[in-house]
Structures are given as structure tokens and as C-alpha cells.
Amino acid sequence: MEDDIEVLKDLINIFGPSGKEQRVREYIQKVMKKYVDELHVDKFGNLICHQKGKGEKIMLAAHMDEIGLMIKAIRDDGRMKVAMIGGLEPVTLIGQSVSLLGHQCEVICEGVLTTEEIHEDFPPEKIPDIDDLYIDAGVNAKELQKLGIHVGTSAVAKHSAKFLGSKEYLSGKGLDDRIGCYVLIQLAKKTKNLKKNIYYVFTVQEEIGLYGAQTSAGTIDPDWGIAIDVTNTLDAMVPKSYELGKGPCITAMDSDMIASSCLNNNLIAIAKKKNIPFQMKVEEGGTTDATRIRLAKGGIPATTVGVAIRNLHSTISIAHMKDIESCITLLHEFLKDGEKVCV
């Protein structure tokens, strides 16, 4: 189990913003090759891992990319204006350390995210937005050019994975969706000898448009699919919706998808039969790879099973280990069950 936790931490710590997922993909390839019959990287960059078997064609997807930043302008003094890769809350970025990444996602140099000085004349009602932020790497524009940093260079905020007060609560950057990637790896290990026709798909560019799921689902043409992702816990709401430590979330609806009731009913039945805790999710904001899976080919039954985390899309997200373990257990029991006839 300790080795498995190190895999999860490794996944979280690897830099891989949308469009630069190669380091994450390389790591997952090394791990997954032990558990699948075939794996390949498609033209778009998705990693498709296939366990051969009989029966229905199953697609399980988790995205490799994380939120990040991209340089959009460089001042003569070297300060770099940034654009967001994915949805970020700019005020949470102020004071963060960042790594600027090269073509192969290697770290070129370090910097800090800061903003113009907030003085006594700064309007108190104004919350700094992304246009107020810049990266300072301590060198001027000419020196940045020599380092290979230019408009279009990607950057990621740094925050290594760590346990908080107990080993039940894990915090770090990139929990969205390295947790999902970890769940797929653990499932592949458990289903290695199941002899089912399962495609474990690690997708790219989810954070900017769910693009990897669209291209891979079109190629695979599964009978049904499930996206494994994270969701923002709403445990600060009254009444509470989904909470840490209360089990994985099964999506009924999000901003772009009404999930397959057939798949959901099967998941719920398995969870109740096996006494696996779960939560139902209805949310009007955000979506997952399942949205694009369900629209591939002539339409594919799809849903999302996720892990609730606090501080979504930040470098200090928090997850509960029991939720991750319950997510793996639920999906494993679901895969061991009979074929799902969903139309």
C-alpha cells in the first residue's frame, strides 16, 4: 500500500499542464505496461491502454493535464504577463512559486507570481484578476530569451503532495485529475486477469475543452464509458451536498451532461449491495470527459464517478484517502459484475 501511495504522490508532483502532458504520460506508461495487453499513444497525445477480453467494450477515462499558465507578454524588465490554462481563481495565485517549462516539460527556471503593489489608494472593492498578475523570474527580457522563455511558454505553480494532520487528508497541486489517473492504475492492477474488454484511457487537454476524450472515444467506440475525475466539495453549504470522507460522487447531472441513468442505477445497486459509501452529485457548473464520450459516434451511455476535493483548481486541493479507496472499490465491483445493457 505504501508503494501505491508513492505512485499517487509522484503523479501529483509531475508537471503537466494542458498541452504538455508528456512527463505524466511517460510515467503512467511505465506503470501500466505491467497490467495491460497493449498500449499506445494516439496522434492527439492520449494514452490508450487495452486489457483484451470478451464482451462489451468498456472505456474508463481520466485526464492527465492540470491547470496552469501561459506567458502572453514579456516586459523589457522581464516581468511576464500570463493567461490561464483552464479555470483558475487568480487571487489564489498571488505569492505562489512557479516553474517555467521547456518544450519537453523540463523546468527552465523558477519564478514567483505577484501583482502590482497594492497601496492605500487601491480600490478596496477590486479583487485582483489575471491581468493584474505577472511572473517575476529575476531576469530581464534578453536573459529570458537566452533561457528559451518566450510568449507561449507554459508555467505551473509548485506545491508538492503531502499529508496534512493525518494520513487521511492529502493536499497538493494537480489532484485534478491525477487522482483519477491513480484510480485507473489501481483498477488495471485489479482487473488484469478479469478477461474483460477494457480500455483505460488517459486523456489530454480536458481542462481547456475535453478534447482528448472526444478524439479517443471516437476511435474506441465503446459500448459505454465512465470518466473518473474530481469534484469540488460543497461541505461548506447548508444543507451539505457532498463531503470529504463520505465516498465517491456519482454524477446525475452537471453543466453539460445528464448522465446515463442505466449506468448510475447499476453503480448505485452495486454500492448498496457491497456497502460501499457513495454520494450523488447534481451541479450546474463544470463538467468532465464523460460529456464528450457520450457524444462520440452515434452516442454512448456515459457517466462520471468522482472524488470530492476541497479547493478545486488550486495548488492546495485536499482529498480524503478513504474516498479514493472507495472509488477504486466501487468501480472494481462494478467491472466484476455482469454486462451492462444500456441504451
pLDDT score recorded for residue 148 = 93
Spatial CB neighbours of 7, under 8 Å, sequence gap ≥ 6: 31, 182, 185
Q: Are strands 97-101 and 154-157 parallel, antiparallel or unpaired?
A: antiparallel
Give strand pairing partners of 309: 232, 319
Residue 162 lies in a domain: no
Residue 29 lies in a domain: yes
pLDDT score recorded for residue 120 = 60
- Residues 246 and 294 grouped into a single domain: yes
Taking residue 298's Cβ as centre, other Cβ atoms within 10 Å add up to 6
Q: What is the C-alpha R_g of the chain? A: 20
- Residues 61 and 72 grouped into a single domain: no
- Residues 91 and 177 grouped into a single domain: no
pLDDT score recorded for residue 302 = 95
pLDDT score recorded for residue 263 = 96
Count of helix runs (H) and strand runs (E) in the chain: 8, 17
Residue 342 lies in a domain: no
Respond yes or no on whether the N-terminal peptide bond of residue 90 is cis (omega within 30° of 0). no
- Residues 57 and 87 grouped into a single domain: no
pLDDT score recorded for residue 40 = 95
pLDDT score recorded for residue 167 = 87
- Residues 14 and 55 grouped into a single domain: yes
- Residues 49 and 74 grouped into a single domain: no
- Residues 289 and 182 grouped into a single domain: yes
- Residues 310 and 211 grouped into a single domain: yes
Average pLDDT along the chain, 343 residues, taken 10 residues at a time: 82 95 96 96 96 94 96 94 90 88 92 77 71 92 94 91 90 93 97 94 94 94 96 71 90 92 95 96 88 91 94 89 97 86 66
State the Cα–Cα distance between residues 97 and 112, nearest whole angstrom: 4
Q: For residue 341, which of 17, 55, 115, 149 has the smallest C-alpha distance? A: 55
- Residues 75 and 58 grouped into a single domain: no
- Total domain count for the chain? 2
Catalytic residue IDs? 206
Which ranges of 104-210 would DSSP assign to H, the alpha helix? 141-147, 175-190
Residue 177 lies in a domain: yes
Write the single-letter amino acid at 279. Q
Q: For residue 60, which of 174, 223, 192 has the smallest C-alpha distance? A: 223
pTM of the model: 0.94
pLDDT score recorded for residue 117 = 65
CATH number at residue 257: 3.40.630.10
Q: Grid cell 487537454 — which residue?
A: 205
Residue 164 lies in a domain: no
pLDDT score recorded for residue 311 = 86
State the Cα–Cα distance between residues 57 and 165, nearest whole angstrom: 42
Residue 184 is part of which domain span?
2-66+173-336
Q: For residue 305, which of 27, 62, 49 has the smallest C-alpha distance? A: 62
